[in-house]
Structures are given as C-alpha cells and as structure tokens.
Amino acid sequence: MSRRLGLLAAALAVAMLGTFAVFSYVNQVEESTLAGAEPVDVLVAAELLPAGTSAQAAGQGQLVELATMPRKSVPEGALTSLDGIDTQTLLSDVFAGEVLLRAKFADQTARTGALLIPAEKIAVSVELEDPQRVAGFVVPGSEVAVFATVDAPTIEGAEAEQVTRLLLARTSVIAVGPATLRPAEEQSEEEEPVAKAVLTLAVTQQEAERLVHGVQTGSLYLGLLSTTSVTAPAAGVSTVSLFP
C-alpha cells in the first residue's frame, strides 16, 4: 500500500512539474509577444526631405512627426528625437512616412553646387557599369568597399599577372549620376551598349590618390556594406592563387 502511495505521489509530482514547465513556457511566449507588440514612438518624415536638409531645419519646419509603431517593426537606429544632431544634415533623400535613422545624418561642412561633402573629405567620381556598382543598389548614403584589379609586378620576361585586392575598406557614396548607354570597347555592331553610371565617393586625400590610380591603371568593383559588414586589408587574389 505504501509503495502504491509512493508511486502515486511521484506521478503527481511529475505531473505538477510538467504543468509548471508548460505554464512557464506559455508565459515566456506571451511576454515576448507583448514586448514585440509594445507601441514605440519614432520620428518619420512628414514630407519628402531632400539630401542636405539639416536636422534643425526639419524640426523647426515641422517636416518630421512622431509615429507609433510596434517595437518589433522599428528598424535599428530609429530616431525618437533630433536632440544632439541639430547641425547634422541628411546624406540622402528621406521619403514621406519613412522612419528617420541615425545613420542618415552626418556632419557636413562643405557644399559645392548641390553636392554636400563630409568634413575633411573630398569628392571623387568614378564611372562604373551595373555589375560593378552592385546592380544599381548603391545609392547616395550607401557605404561601400572598393576593390581594384590591376596588373601585378612580375619577374622580367614573365607573363603579366593580375591581382584583385581591397582598395578602400569603407567609404560613403554621396551622389549617383544617371545611367547612360556607352558603346562597349571592341564590341560588334550586334552587341548592346553598356549601361554606366557615375558615382561620387567621399574620401581623404590618400584614399583619393589610391582611387584615381586604381581607375587609371586597372578596373574597380564595389561591394555594398551593411552596418555589420567586415572588411580588412588582405593579400588579395591573383590569377595563380584564384583556385585553392
């Protein structure tokens, strides 16, 4: 009899533990769901904000407004106020209803025509075909890595070897010109013209020297970066080391 009572008590304890575990799991799921659905106020553009608009002008002109969104829908870096960035300006256009992101604003001190150039930087333009500019996904405000393919020094008499290496680890695109159709070099009459566009990058003097030299002596290729992308100088890849 006592043995049966012991087994019954053990079964009851297991059942209670199971019930408690299920209850705890359900509570956690509910809390997570409620946290994601919690309303959060963020700043959105009340109308189109052109690149170069200062945070101060946007605030004073009531060009931005608070909007309530579920927390899980708020993008990283969303602004809830313009405090602390009054003198900064937009790197690219922000459309009506778009959430204002911290990464969209930067210090600007130089203006030439309609082009805003970040402090202590100079603007250098390069002409690239669609694949080399990430199929047109590079826009003003994008962060890009620049790769260059050039002829590598070889032993006298040896066949020329090309190498591709990281030229600039991260730089900002401040303008993108419209695409134009240019005849491809050495193409037949049946081939389609090649679409090219001019991109303007904000670089230091040293970066500009390397960029210009890369354009003059080889070919460039851009890589579009996110906030978590990692780039670093490396040995690169040559014709010999292309395959493992």
pLDDT, tens digit, 9 for 90 and up, residues 118-176: 878 899 999 998 888 888 888 888 899 999 999 876 555 556 688 999 999 999 998 88
- Residues 156, 220, single domain; the answer is yes
Coil, helix or strand at residue 172: strand
Listed in sequence order, the residues at least 6 apart from 238 whose beta carbon sits closer than 8 Å to its beta carbon are 152, 161, 162, 163, 164
Angle at CA of residue 216, ends 243 and 156, nearest 5°: 60
217 is a domain residue: yes
244 is a domain residue: no
Top-ranked range on mean pLDDT: pick from 30-44, 100-114, 228-242: 228-242
3 is a domain residue: no
CA distance 48 to 91: 13
Angle at CA of residue 34, ends 28 and 39, nearest 5°: 155
Compute the mean pLDDT over every residue in the chain, rounded to the nearest whole number.
Answer: 79
99 is a domain residue: yes
Tokens representing 134 are 């990430």
Assign residue 56 the CATH number of its domain: 3.90.1210.10
- Residues 123, 207, single domain; the answer is yes
Query: In the prediction, which pLDDT does 239 show?
Result: 83
- Residues 174, 69, single domain; the answer is no
| pLDDT for residue 14 is more than 80 | no
Alpha helices in the chain (DSSP H): 2-37, 55-60, 205-217
Of 106, 132, 147, which marks where a domain is finished?
106
| pLDDT for residue 11 is more than 80 | no
CA distance 86 to 105: 10
Overall domain count for the chain:
2
How far is the CA of 141 from the CAs of 42, 93, 161, 175, 203, in angstroms? 21, 9, 35, 8, 13
- Residues 154, 71, single domain; the answer is no
- Residues 127, 212, single domain; the answer is yes
Query: In the prediction, which pLDDT does 21 show?
Result: 58
19 is a domain residue: no
| pLDDT for residue 10 is more than 50 | yes
16 is a domain residue: no
Over residues 94-100, mean pLDDT: 88
- Residues 121, 100, single domain; the answer is no
Pick from 150, 242, 140: which is nearest to 198 by CA? 140
Tell me which DSSP letter residue 98 carries: P
pTM (2 decimals)? 0.54
Query: In the prediction, which pLDDT does 160 show?
Result: 66
How sure is the predictor about 16, in pLDDT bands with cuts at 50, 70 and 90?
A: low
- Residues 197, 216, single domain; the answer is yes
| pLDDT for residue 207 is more than 90 | yes
Query: In the prediction, which pLDDT does 149 show?
Result: 93
125 is a domain residue: yes
Q: Domain range for residue 145?
A: 115-238
- Residues 160, 98, single domain; the answer is no
- Residues 139, 204, single domain; the answer is yes
**Who has greater pLDDT, 85 or 208?**
208
**Who has greater pLDDT, 116 or 95?**
95
Query: In the prediction, which pLDDT does 235 show?
Result: 87
- Residues 128, 164, single domain; the answer is yes
- Residues 92, 204, single domain; the answer is no
Of 55, 84, 106, which marks where a domain is finished?
106
Of 76, 106, 136, which marks where a domain is finished?
106
Top-ranked range on mean pLDDT: pick from 10-19, 28-37, 93-102, 154-163: 93-102
CB atoms under 10 Å from CB of 78, counted, come to 17
DSSP percent split of the chain into helix, strand, coil, nearest 5: 25, 35, 35
CA distance 114 to 106: 16
Query: In the prediction, which pLDDT does 34 show?
Result: 46
CA distance 44 to 73: 13
- Residues 81, 152, single domain; the answer is no
**Who has greater pLDDT, 109 or 141?**
141
